[in-house]
């Protein structure tokens, strides 16, 4: 039986990956750079430093990268201010189920802490997660396992007792290397065969995680779990 659930954030809790991809293309256009959708998709789930490396593979040296990144963040914040925080389908129901049934909840995101907490506050769910581990709190970002190992440590749970929820191949690999049980809920990128071999499960929405957890519990414990 799983004791804890660890969440990724962008593309998993919030429908922000498409916003980020569109924002990168807009920033590229505004600065005379051919930042394509393909390039932006390759950077999904990566830290700022690794995103810079991806872009430089296509565009050459970008000494202004972090200034471009600030423009991208500003674009996304403007969109959220105008349209609200785009929450993924099933999030409220899943959080209610987890809290009602005594699961520990953690967040493990490559997003820097200040930005991550501001998003969680906007959505009114900051208090649901303890601990919150962010990209600027660890040495090696996804796909290295550091962020998930840190989350397990702070949860005081063995990795095999933790179900991890991810939307990207990069995050799945990090969760798998840490020894947790990755569940993928694809957003912009579907799992290939290599990613599929790392998965505990692949489901369509956060709502489906409820049934996964119910089925993973021993039969004698299912009586005490409310799957509704």
Residue 119 pLDDT class (50, 70, 90 cuts): very high
Residue 222 pLDDT class (50, 70, 90 cuts): low
Give mean pLDDT, residues 130-142: 94
pLDDT at 220 (0 to 100) = 59
How crowded is the C-beta side of 76, counted as CA atoms within 13 Å?
25
Asked, for residue 215, whether it belongs to a domain, the answer is yes
Asked, for residue 142, whether it belongs to a domain, the answer is yes
C-alpha 95/C-alpha 188 separation (Å) is 23
Among residues of the chain, what percentage have pLDDT more than 90?
A: 86
Asked, for residue 228, whether it belongs to a domain, the answer is no
| Mean pLDDT score of the chain | 94
Asked, for residue 191, whether it belongs to a domain, the answer is yes
33-42 confidence digits (pLDDT tens): 999 999 999 9
Structural domain ending residue among the three candidates 83, 102, 128: 83
Residue 47 and residue 95 in one domain: no
Residue 150 and residue 185 in one domain: yes
Residue 123 and residue 140 in one domain: yes
Q: Is the pLDDT of residue 70 over 70?
A: yes
Q: Is the pLDDT of residue 227 over 70?
A: no
Q: Is the pLDDT of residue 223 over 60?
A: no
Residue 200 pLDDT class (50, 70, 90 cuts): very high
Cis ω before 114 (30° cut-off from 0): no
C-alpha 56/C-alpha 65 separation (Å) is 9
C-alpha 40/C-alpha 58 separation (Å) is 11
pLDDT at 55 (0 to 100) = 97
Residues near 157 by beta carbon (within 8 Å), at least 6 away in sequence: 3, 4, 104
C-alpha 165/C-alpha 176 separation (Å) is 11
Residue 139 and residue 63 in one domain: no
Among candidates 117, 30, 21, 42, which has minimal Cα distance to 67?
A: 30
Tell me the CATH number at 109: 3.40.50.1000
Tell me the CATH number at 41: 1.10.150
- Residues assigned a catalytic role: 8
Asked, for residue 227, whether it belongs to a domain, the answer is no
Q: Is the pLDDT of residue 218 over 90?
A: no
End-to-end CA distance of the chain: 18
Residue 45 pLDDT class (50, 70, 90 cuts): confident
Residue 112 and residue 177 in one domain: yes
What domain count does the chain have?
2
Give mean pLDDT, residues 137-142: 93
190: domain range?
Answer: 4-15+87-222
């Amino acid at each position: 039986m799983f004791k804890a659930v660890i969440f990724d954030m962008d593309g998993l809790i919030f429908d922000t990956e498409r916003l980020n991809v569109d924002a990168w293309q807009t920033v590229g256009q505004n600065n005379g750079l051919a930042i394509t959708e393909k390039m932006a998709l390759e950077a999904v789930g990566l830290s700022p430093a690794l995103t810079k490396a991806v872009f430089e593979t296509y565009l050459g040296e970008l000494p202004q990268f972090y200034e471009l990144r600030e423009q991208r963040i500003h674009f996304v914040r403007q969109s959220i201010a105008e349209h609200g925080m785009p929450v993924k389908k099933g999030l409220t129901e899943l959080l209610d189920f987890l809290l009602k049934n005594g699961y520990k909840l953690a967040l493990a995101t490559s997003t820097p802490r200040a930005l991550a907490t501001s998003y969680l506050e906007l959505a009114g769910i900051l208090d649901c997660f303890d601990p919150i581990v962010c990209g600027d709190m660890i040495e090696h970002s996804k796909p290295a396992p550091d962020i998930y190992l840190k989350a397990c440590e702070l949860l005081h749970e063995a990795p095999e007792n933790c179900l991890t929820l991810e939307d990207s191949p990069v995050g799945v690999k990090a969760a798998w290397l840490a020894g947790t049980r990755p569940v993928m809920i694809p957003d912009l990128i579907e799992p290939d065969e290599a990613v599929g071999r790392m998965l505990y499960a692949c489901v369509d929405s956060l709502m489906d995680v409820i049934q996964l957890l119910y089925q993973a519990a021993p039969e004698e414990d299912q009586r005490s779990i409310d799957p509704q």
